[in-house]
Structure 1
Amino acid sequence: MTATVTPAKAGKPGKAAKAAKQSPRGSAPEGPARGDLEIPSRPVPVQKIAGGVVLLAMLVFGAYSLSRMGFDFGYLTSAAKSVRAFFGTTNNTLSFPSVPNLIYLAGLTIGVVVLGTIIAALISIPVAYIAAANTTPSPWLHWLGRAIGVLTRAVPDVVIAFSVSLMFALGSTLPGVIAIGIHSIGMISKLFADAIEQIDEGPRLAIRAAGGSKAQEFWAGVFPQVVPSWVATTLHRFDINIRGSAILGYAGVGGLGYAMSLAFNQFNYGRGLGIALVIFVMCIVLEIISSTVRRNLLGIQPTGKGIGERIVRAATRNRPVPQASPSRPTGAQSSAASIEAAMRRPWTRERVRDTAWVVAALVFVGLSYWWSQVNPGQIMWKYVLPGITSFWPPSFGQAGATAYLNSVVVTLELAFAAALVAIVFSLVIGSFAARNVAPNGVVRNIFRVILTLLRGIPELIVALFLIVIVGLGPVPGFIALTIGGVGLLGKLIADSFEEVPNGPETALSAAGATRSQRYVSATLPQGLPSLIGNSLYLVDTNIRSAVLLGVVGAGGIGYYLTIASPQLNQHGEVTVLVAFLIVVVLVIEGIAAWLRSVFK
Structure 2
Amino acid sequence: MTATAQAPTRTRARGPVSPQTLSGEPPRRRVSAERIAGWVVIVALIAFSVYSLSQMGLDAQYIATASQKVHSFFGSTTNAISFPPFADLIYLTGLTLGVVILGTVIAALISIPVAYIAAANTAPTPWLHWLGRAIGVLTRAVPDVVIAFSLSLMFALGSTIPGIIAIGIHSIGMISKLFADAIEQVDEGPRLAIRAAGGSKAQEFWAGVFPQVLPSWIATALHRFDINLRGSAILGYAGVGGLGYAMMLAFNQFNYGRGLGIAFVIFLLCIVLEIVSSTIRRTLLGIEPAGNSIGDRLVRVAGRRRARAAARGAGSVPAAGSLPATATGTPGRLAPLTVEAAMRRPWSRERVRDTSWGIIAVAVVLASIWLAQVDPRQIMWKYVWPGIRSFWPPNLGSVGASGLLAATMSTLEIAFAAAIISLVFALVIGSFAARNIAPNGIVRSVFRVILTILRGIPELIVALFLIVIAGLGAVPALVALALGGVGLLGKLIADSFEEVPRGPETALSAAGATRGQRFASATLPQGLPSLIGNSLYLVDSNFRSAVLLGVVGAGGIGYYLALSAPQLNQHGMVTALVGVMIVVVLIIEGIAAWLRRVFK
Provide the secondary structure at the position in 1 that maps to 2:408: helix
Aligned twin of 1:210: 197
Aligned twin of 2:424: 424
Matched residues in 2 for 1:415 and 1:125: separation? 33
The TM-score normalised by the length of structure 2 is: 0.89
Matched residues in 1 for 2:338 and 2:514: separation? 56
Aligned twin of 1:279: 266
Deviation of 1:354 after TM superposition, in Å, equals 3.4
Q: Is the 8 A contact 1:166 1:567 kept in 2?
A: no
Displaced runs of 4+ in structure 1, greater than 6 A? Answer: 14-19, 336-342
Matched residues in 2 for 1:567 and 1:401: separation? 20
Change (3 A) 1:337 1:488: farther
Q: Is the 8 A contact 1:297 1:358 kept in 2?
A: no
Q: Is the 8 A contact 1:166 1:387 kept in 2?
A: yes
Matched residues in 2 for 1:492 and 1:362: separation? 36
Provide the secondary structure at the position in 2 that maps to 1:103: helix
Provide the secondary structure at the position in 2 that maps to 1:512: coil
Change (3 A) 1:39 1:107: same
Aligned twin of 2:108: 121
Provide the secondary structure at the position in 2 that maps to 1:316: helix
Residue 537 (1) aligns with residue 537 (2) = yes
Deviation of 1:203 after TM superposition, in Å, equals 1.8
How many pairs align?
Answer: 564
Q: Is the 8 A contact 2:414 2:474 kept in 1?
A: yes
Matched residues in 1 for 2:550 and 2:239: separation? 16
Q: Letter of the 2:145 partner, please give it.
A: V
Q: Letter of the 1:123 partner, please give it.
A: I
Matched residues in 2 for 1:213 and 1:121: separation? 24
Q: Letter of the 1:535 partner, please give it.
A: S
Change (3 A) 1:344 1:536: farther
Deviation of 1:202 after TM superposition, in Å, equals 1.9
Equivalences for residues 66-77 of structure 1 within 5 A = 66-77=53-64
Aligned twin of 1:390: 390
Equivalences for residues 243-262 of structure 1 within 5 A = 243-262=230-249
Aligned twin of 1:130: 117
Residue 573 (1) aligns with residue 564 (2) = no
Provide the secondary structure at the position in 2 that maps to 1:397: coil
Q: Letter of the 2:373 partner, please give it.
A: Q
Deviation of 1:32 after TM superposition, in Å, equals 8.7
Q: Is the 8 A contact 2:422 2:485 kept in 1?
A: yes
Deviation of 1:523 after TM superposition, in Å, equals 1.8
Q: Letter of the 1:446 partner, please give it.
A: V
Q: Is the 8 A contact 1:69 1:475 kept in 2?
A: yes
Aligned twin of 1:438: 438
CA deviation profile, 1:363-389 (whole Å, cap 9, x unmatched): 222222221111111111111111112
Aligned twin of 1:152: 139
Matched residues in 1 for 2:33 and 2:180: separation? 32
Deviation of 1:591 after TM superposition, in Å, equals 2.2
Change (3 A) 1:202 1:74: same
Q: Letter of the 1:219 partner, please give it.
A: W
CA deviation profile, 1:497-549 (whole Å, cap 9, x unmatched): 22222233233223322221222222222222211111111111011000000
Deviation of 1:595 after TM superposition, in Å, equals 2.5
Q: Is the 8 A contact 2:433 2:445 kept in 1?
A: yes
Residue 161 (1) aligns with residue 148 (2) = yes
Aligned twin of 2:293: 306
Q: Is the 8 A contact 1:557 1:577 kept in 2?
A: yes
Equivalences for residues 187-266 of structure 1 within 5 A = 187-266=174-253
Deviation of 1:158 after TM superposition, in Å, equals 0.4
Aligned twin of 1:108: 95
Q: Letter of the 2:476 partner, please give it.
A: P
Matched residues in 2 for 1:339 and 1:60: separation? 73
In the alignment, structure 1 segments of 5+ residues that lack a partner are 1-9, 20-28, 322-335
Which of the numbers 44, 64, 79 marks the counterpart of 1:57? 44
Aligned twin of 1:361: 361
Aligned twin of 1:12: 3
Matched residues in 2 for 1:355 and 1:302: separation? 23
Matched residues in 2 for 1:319 and 1:500: separation? 33
Q: Which moved more, 1:290-299 or 1:516-525?
A: 516-525
Provide the secondary structure at the position in 1 that maps to 2:120: coil
Matched residues in 2 for 1:222 and 1:32: separation? 61
Matched residues in 2 for 1:138 and 1:201: separation? 18
Q: Letter of the 1:120 partner, please give it.
A: A
Matched residues in 2 for 1:593 and 1:374: separation? 42
In the alignment, structure 2 segments of 5+ residues that lack a partner are 11-19, 309-335
Deviation of 1:93 after TM superposition, in Å, equals 0.3
Residue 506 (1) aligns with residue 509 (2) = no
Residue 587 (1) aligns with residue 587 (2) = yes
Change (3 A) 1:367 1:75: same
